[in-house]
């Protein structure tokens, strides 16, 4: 079971890693409301791909749970589970819970 | 997570035929070889690990890649060799058989590439070789669905090259001429002879031919060779 604070930390650390890797300027403040997908997004579409992979690997490294965030279920939701840091954090928790042995 | 000194090579369909030859070939070349197939395998080598996985099984592939990553911290090379074929006139091809070929040959290749690439991109290095066949470009009657699945692999690989190039991962396809393996043992000799007679080099392919092309594609110096397809025997 991943606590919300742990999942949030992973998402934010991954986001910072992607900013660094892509040379993207990080916003002054990152929080639950930081937009990841759409018009005001802080990342482009490739940045999102990198972010998702980074989070999957960090979850596995820290918690030993192998997850796929871009699952069929996730991709068919009306509202993207990647749209903000907060929503993505909740998605990480739900996915890890489903994948836990 | 510790990272192995030895480069890690994953070859799918390593139980027999070309896959097995390549597993043993790259063991001799100093790779840590990870193989997979639906059945067990009797390769005994301290640097070989077998995963009993169907490449079309998403969960199984994910588990295999996770296990390799946990033990070695890297995947340098993927040889997507696993495939199934069924020589049938299209009018006599059941949907179940067609779907299974697409599942293993196309979806299976995609799943292994997807999950391995996630590991490769962290180290900004990777070599992917997806196996196709000359029966697609020569439009061999009796192999419509198999050839279509392998054409899909070529297109997939070309696009994959563009999607993964920025992370130092190259993606190429390799199409062998007929090689005497279990896959073609049911094909009538006159059909094989007709194919061989249509080649520029009129002989069957060999596992050594396959290793030669793979060596070229996976060479670290081949970092600007991507999105390509090489067929044996003069076929283009």
> How far from the centroid of its chain's Cα atoms is residue B186's Cα?
21
Mean pLDDT (chain B) is 95
Closest Cα to residue B78, out of B157, B2, B163? B157
Task: Count CB neighbours of B61 within 10 A.
Answer: 25
Mean pLDDT, residues B184-199 taken together: 87
Q: Are A65 and A99 in contact (CB under 8 A)?
A: yes
Task: State yes or no: pLDDT of A80 exceeds 80.
Answer: yes
Which pLDDT tens digit goes with each residue over B54-84? 999 999 999 999 999 999 999 999 999 999 9
ipTM of the complex: 0.82
Instruction: Say if A50 is an interface residue toward chain B (CB within 8 Å).
Output: yes
Q: 3-state secondary structure string, B24-66?
A: HHHHHCCCEEEEEECCCCCCCCCCEEEEECCCCCHHHHHHHHH
Highest mean predicted confidence (pLDDT) among A7-16, B2-11, B83-92 = A7-16
pTM of the model: 0.92
Contacts of B61 in chain A (CB under 8 A): none
Q: Which pLDDT score is estimated for B1?
A: 64
Query: What is the least distance, in Å, from the CA of A43 to any CA of chain B?
Result: 16
Mean pLDDT (chain A) is 93
Q: Which of A53, A61, A66 sits opposite B62 (nearest CB)?
A: A66
Task: State yes or no: pLDDT of B113 exceeds 90.
Answer: yes
Instruction: Say if B3 is an interface residue toward chain A (CB within 8 Å).
Output: no
Which pLDDT tens digit goes with each residue over B172-183? 999 999 998 877
Q: 3-state secondary structure string, B90-157?
A: HHHCCHHHHHHHHHHHHHHHHHHHHHHHHHHHHHCCEEEEEEEECCCCCCCCCCHHHHHHHHHHHHHH
> Which of A45, A52, A66 to mutate against chain B (most B CBs within 10 Å)?
A66
Q: Which pLDDT score is estimated for B19?
A: 97
Task: Count CB neighbours of B228 within 10 A.
Answer: 17
Residue of A nearest to B124 (CA): A21
In chain B, the percentage of residues whose pLDDT exceeds 70 is: 100
Q: How confident is the model at residue B234 (pLDDT cuts 50, 70, 90)?
A: very high
Mean pLDDT, residues A8-12 taken together: 98
């Amino acid at each position: 079971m991943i606590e919300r604070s742990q999942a949030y930390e992973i998402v934010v650390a991954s986001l910072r890693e992607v900013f660094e890797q892509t040379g993207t300027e990080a916003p002054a403040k990152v929080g639950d409301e930081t937009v990841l997908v759409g018009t005001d997004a802080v990342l482009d579409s490739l940045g999102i791909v990198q972010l998702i992979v980074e989070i999957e690997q960090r979850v596995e490294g820290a918690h030993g749970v192998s997850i796929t965030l871009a699952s069929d279920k996730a991709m068919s939701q009306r509202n993207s589970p990647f749209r903000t840091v907060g929503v993505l954090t909740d998605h990480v928790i739900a996915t890890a819970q489903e994948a836990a042995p | 997570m510790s990272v192995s000194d030895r480069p890690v090579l994953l070859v799918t369909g390593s139980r027999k035929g070309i896959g097995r030859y390549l597993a043993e070939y790259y063991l001799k070349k100093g790779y840590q070889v990870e193989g997979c197939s639906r059945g067990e395998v009797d390769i005994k080598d301290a640097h070989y690990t077998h995963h009993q996985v169907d490449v079309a099984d998403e969960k199984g592939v994910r588990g295999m890649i996770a296990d390799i990553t946990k033990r070695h911290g890297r995947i340098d090379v993927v040889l997507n060799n696993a495939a199934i074929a069924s020589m049938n006139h299209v009018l006599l091809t059941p949907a179940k058989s067609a779907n299974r070929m697409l599942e293993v040959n196309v979806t299976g290749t995609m799943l292994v590439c997807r999950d391995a690439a996630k590991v490769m991109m962290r180290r900004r290095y990777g070599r992917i070789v997806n196996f196709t066949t000359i029966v697609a470009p020569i439009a061999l009657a009796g192999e419509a669905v198999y050839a279509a699945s392998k054409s899909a692999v070529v297109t997939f690989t070309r696009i994959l090259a563009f999607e993964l190039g920025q992370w130092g991962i190259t993606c190429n396809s390799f199409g062998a001429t007929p090689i005497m393996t279990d896959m073609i043992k049911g094909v009538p000799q006159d059909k094989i002879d007709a194919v061989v007679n249509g080649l520029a080099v009129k002989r069957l392919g060999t596992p050594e031919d396959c290793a030669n092309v793979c060596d070229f594609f996976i060479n670290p110096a081949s970092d600007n060779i991507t999105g390509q397809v090489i067929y044996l025997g003069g076929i283009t």
